[in-house]
Amino acid sequence: MEYLKLVKIYKELESTTKKLEKTKIISDFIKHISKDELNHIIYLIQGRVFPRGQDKKIGMSSRLVIKVISKATGHISDKVEKEWKKTGDLGKVVESLMKDKQQRTFNKKELTTQKVYENIRKLPEIGGKGSIDKKISLMVELLNNANPEESKYIVRTILEEMRIGVASGIIRDAIAKSFDVDVKEVEKSGQLLADYGKIAELAKQGKKKLSDVTLTPGKPSKVMLAIKAESIKEIFKALGKPCQFEEKLDGFRCLIHNDGKEIYLFTRRLENVTKQFPDLIPIIKKQIKGKSYIIDTEFVGYEPETKRYLPFQNISQRIKRKYDIEKMAKKFPVTIKAFDILYYDGKSLEKEILKKRRKKLEKVIKEKKYDIEITKEIVTEDEKKVEKFFKSVLNEGKEGLIAKNLESTYRPGRYVGGWMKLKPTTETLDLVIIGAQWGEGKRSNWLSSFKIACKSGKEYLGIGKVGTGIKEKDAEVTFKNITKELKPHITKTKGKNVEIEPSLIVEVGYEEIQKSPTYESGYALRFPRVIRLRPDKSLNEVDDVKRIKSLYKKQKK
C-alpha cells in the first residue's frame, strides 16, 4: 500500500479528538486492507513497528533524529534543533524543512507502508562499528523518498511519538466494527494475546478464529486484577464464604513464561524484562517443574544483609535498567512470590477454578527461601481469623491482603466476584498526570506543578495539582525523571502550561479529600504528595471518581 494513503488517515485522526470519529476512520480504512498487510498497518496506526511484549525497541534518540533530518534536508543540525525548541515536535520540524528543501531528489521512489515498516524494524538489529551511520542511512533513505507530510509521520514513528490520539481501546473498537465481531470478543482476545495486529488478522477471517485465541507461553497477556475493598465484611458479602486470603506484597507483578525453549518475564504492562533479571533465570529453571508454563508472581525486593523486604521503588530501578545489570542485581536482589498458574505443559488453566489452580501451583514449585516461594494464605469464613492474619501481614511490612473467591476462574482485568484487595485505612490514590507547567530558574528545563486526574468512565477528571514528594536530584522521583517520561506525551502548549496525554500514573498520598468547584471531578486533595511513580500500572487502574466519593464520605463519618 502507498504510504501516502496511511498519511491521509493520520491527518484525519489528528484533526479530531472524538473517539467515535477516530474509531470510524480506522474501521473504514482497515476494512478493505488485505490480510497480508493488515498486521503491519495496525502497528503503524498505533505508532509502533513491534508488538507489545517484544524486547526490541526502535532506540532512536531525538539527537540522532536531528542528524537524520539535517542530512535529509540539507540544513545544519543547529537550525534543526532551534526549530525543535520552538515546536517541541521533530515531526513538524522535518515537514517544514522539507518544504523549503533546495536540493530536490530526482530519482524518488514511491514509498509504501511495507518499506517504512521494514526500514524502521531494522534499526534495533544494527550494531557494531559504524552502526550509527547505518541507522542514519536507513532513515535518510525514507525521508529522501518522502514528501513533507510523509516525513512528519515517519519521524514521529521513529521517535514513537505519533500524537494522533489512538489508544488501544480505539483500535479494539475499530477492529470489532470493521469485521462485524463482538467488541467483547476482541477485548477478550486482546487480553490473552495483547497483539492487535494479529487480532485484526484473525477477526478478518471470522468470529471462530477470534474465539480460538488462548494463552500461549512466550506471548504476553493481561493479568487478573483485584477490586479495592474497605472492610472484611464487604469482602465476604461480595465473594461469599469461605474465601482465600493471601499476603499482598509491595513488589511488581510479573508473569513467568516458559515456552519449552526460553524463559520470558512479562510485567503487567506487557513489557519484556527478561534481560533485566538474569539472576532469576537459573532459579526458575531449577525450582519450577514442567516443560512449559505461565505462572503469575510478584517480584519483591529485599535487603541483602538483613533480608528485610523493601518497597517497590527500590526494585523499580531494575525494570528499565539497560546497563550494570549484574551490579543492580546484587544491590537490589528479588525473591519470586508465586500465587497462580495459568498454563501448564500444553494445557491452558485459566478456566480452572482457583482451588484447583492453587493445588497445581503447589505441586509445580519447589520452594526455597528468598529464591522462590508461594504466597502465604489462609482459607476461612471467620472474620477474626482474617483480622489476625491481616495484622500479622502488616507487621511483616507487607501491604495488606488479597481475597479470592475459591470458585473463581482466571479472567484478565477486574471483575465483580473475583479478587479483592484490603489495605490499611490510610489509603493512597493511583492518579494520572494530565497537565503541568514548565519551571523557572534552575527548573526551567523541567516540568513541575503537575495536574493529576482520576477516571470517570473513559474521561479523566482533574482532582488537584501536586509538586511535593518530588526531588531535584539523587532520588527515585525527580523533576528530571518525570519530565523525561512526560515530554513525548505533551499534546498542547500554551505559554508555560502544557496539556499531557494520560500515560504516567503516580501514587499520591494526601491529608484529606475536599469538595471543590475548581476541578472537573468535584473534589480536590488537601496537601497531596507524590509517593512514587507506578510504571507497572496501566490506565485502567487509575482510581475512579466513585472511589474518591466513597473515601470522602468515609472520612466525614
Under 8 Å between Cβ of 542 and 505? yes
What's the CA gap between 76 and 79, in Å, rounded? Answer: 5
Pick from 219, 154, 204: which is nearest to 174 by CA?
204
Provide the grid cell at 524. 480536590
Pick from 414, 453, 457, 448: which is nearest to 431 by CA?
453
Pick from 87, 94, 93: which is nearest to 72 by CA?
94
What's the CA gap between 499 and 508, in Å, rounded? Answer: 20
Contacts (Cβ under 8 Å, ≥6 apart) of 272: 53, 54, 55, 220, 264, 265, 266
Q: Annotated catalytic sites, by residue?
A: 248
Q: What is the H or E stretch that residue 432 is in?
A: strand 429-438
What's the CA gap between 197 and 116, in Å, rounded? Answer: 16
What's the CA gap between 502 and 455, in Å, rounded? Answer: 11
Longest CA pairwise span in the chain (Å): 81
Residues 276-309 as b or e (16 or more Cβ within 10 Å = b): bbebbeebbeebbebebbbbbbbbbbbeeeeeeb
What's the CA gap between 410 and 349, in Å, rounded? Answer: 8
Under 8 Å between Cβ of 396 and 389? no
Provide the grid cell at 17. 479528538
HSE on the CB side for 472, CA within 13 Å? 7
Pick from 277, 167, 267: which is nearest to 222 by CA?
267
Let me know if 323 is exposed, middle or buried by CB neighbors in 10 A (0-12, 13-18, 19+): exposed
Peptide bond preceding 488 in cis form (omega within 30 of 0): no
DSSP class per residue in 178-244? HHT--HHHHHHHHHHH--HHHHHHHHHH-HHHHHT----TTS----B-PEEES-HHHHHHHH-SSEE
Under 8 Å between Cβ of 320 and 535? yes
Distance of CA 256 to the CA centre of its chain: 17
DSSP class per residue in 274-335? GGG-GGGHHHHHHHB-SSSEEEEEEEEEB-TTT--B--HHHHHHHHT--SSHHHHHHHS-EE
